[in-house]
Amino acid sequence: MLGDKPLASYGHENGMLNVAWISGFARNFTRDGDSVSGFIQQTNDVTRMVPVGQSPRHKRTFAAIQNEEAVKITGRVHGRFVTWNNGTKEVTEHSAFLDPLEVSSPSIIEMPSSLTWHTPIKNRKADRIQQDDFQPFGGETFGEGRMRDAANNVVLAGIVDGIRSLRGEGQNVIVGVEIILRQTENPEESIPVRMMNSKLARIIREELRMGRPIMVQGKLRVRDLKAVDADGIETPTGQQVGYVWCRSILNARRGKDILTIPSWVKDIMARYGQAPEGGETAPEEDAPKAADAPERAGTAAESSIEDEIASQLASL
């Protein structure tokens, strides 16, 4: 079993840290040929189930997963494109999902508790929460509690390939940032990472640079895709995309979190200092200008990281 092996033996994807441990109740698992897909339910809201799928490059064979059974999946987080209509046009978003390495039985402390089961995602509207007949816990519809880290834990390292500011619904206030974290040569496989902290969002938005190696620890979650009508009213489309939620962003350690800097980082560095494309970005005056970015002095930690990148790129 993977739990009996050191993390270094299975915890890296393309030389970059990538491993997740997620436990809950198996829902809607199906097999299409040798490919398995389904969801792990951790709360009393079926729109917030964690998506499980298999990358075409990493298909593995598992025993049948029974619907509604308690299950623990050790795997890697991968990314893919999802296209949807926002009310006026087709939009393509990055979406994250769990690709299994091992399926096993969870311990008691690795499962969501009855309190967290009945706790909706913070600040969500009650009319957007959906439930079905599967109710493994009794009690009130909602309670209070925090998801155990052992039930949903993701550790990732990668290269920053994009960043945008996130604003509150119907507000012009920056409440977080979304980082596009890249681990492979194919940018379509990049993983969306979100840090929702209004106090740090603007600082992170300005300081994170394209091509910088970072590491995050967080949880795999999903969010609703919404369409906007002519009156500006947002309505969920019924589709969700996965992302990694984290509390902080750390410098990746060379030789540990990222074993080597890949050659495709040159392409990212060539775009260094350019403003990110797409919606929900900070106003131009809030972001570092492309012409000024290369001249702006970084902190000691930033300079050290950039020196490491430069030295490894020079040896490619």
Instruction: Annotate 64-85 with b (16+ C-beta within 10 A) or e (fewer).
Output: ebeeeebbbbbbbbbbbebebe
Helices (H) and strands (E) in the chain, counts: 4, 12
What mean pLDDT comes out for the span 246-272? 91
- pLDDT for 132-163, tens place per residue? 999 998 766 555 667 888 899 999 999 999 99
* H-assigned helices in 75-120: 114-117
Report how far residue 239's alpha carbon sits from residue 26's, in angstroms, rounded to the nearest whole number.
Answer: 19
Q: CA distances (Å), 244 to each of 6, 45, 89, 309, in order?
A: 24, 18, 26, 25
Query: Are the C-beta atoms of 140 and 171 separated by less than 8 Å?
Result: no
Assigned superfamily of 7-133+149-273: Nucleic acid-binding proteins (2.40.50.140)
What mean pLDDT comes out for the span 178-183? 97
Q: CA 228, 229, 230, 232 torsion: positive or negative?
A: negative
Least confident of 57-61, 192-196, 291-295: 291-295
**Helix, strand, or coil here: 311?**
helix
Q: What is the mean pLDDT of the chain?
A: 82
Q: CA distances (Å), 213 to each of 7, 153, 200, 299, 307, in order?
A: 20, 20, 19, 15, 12
Report how far residue 96's alpha carbon sits from residue 106's, in angstroms, rounded to the nearest whole number.
Answer: 23
* H-assigned helices in 142-207: 198-207
- pLDDT for 106-131, tens place per residue? 999 999 988 888 876 666 777 788 98
- pLDDT for 264-313, tens place per residue? 999 998 876 543 333 343 333 333 333 333 333 333 343 344 454 455 44
- The whole-number pLDDT of residue 88 equals 87
Report how far residue 251's alpha carbon sits from residue 152's, in angstroms, rounded to the nearest whole number.
Answer: 22
Domain boundaries in the chain?
7-133+149-273
Q: Which of 206, 10, 15, 40 is nearest to 110 (CA)?
A: 40
Global pTM reads 0.83
- pLDDT for 74-87, tens place per residue? 999 999 999 989 88
Q: Computed over its alpha carbons, how large is the radius of gyration of the chain?
A: 20
Q: How confident is the model at residue 35 (pLDDT cuts 50, 70, 90)?
A: confident
pLDDT at 36 over 80: yes
Q: Which of 161, 164, 190, 192 is nearest to 177 (CA)?
A: 164
Report how far residue 304's alpha carbon sits from residue 308's, in angstroms, rounded to the nearest whole number.
Answer: 6
Query: Are the C-beta atoms of 97 and 56 separated by less than 8 Å?
Result: no
Q: Please give the angle made by the CA atoms of 152, 201 and 119, to the nearest 5 degrees.
A: 35
pLDDT at 26 over 50: yes
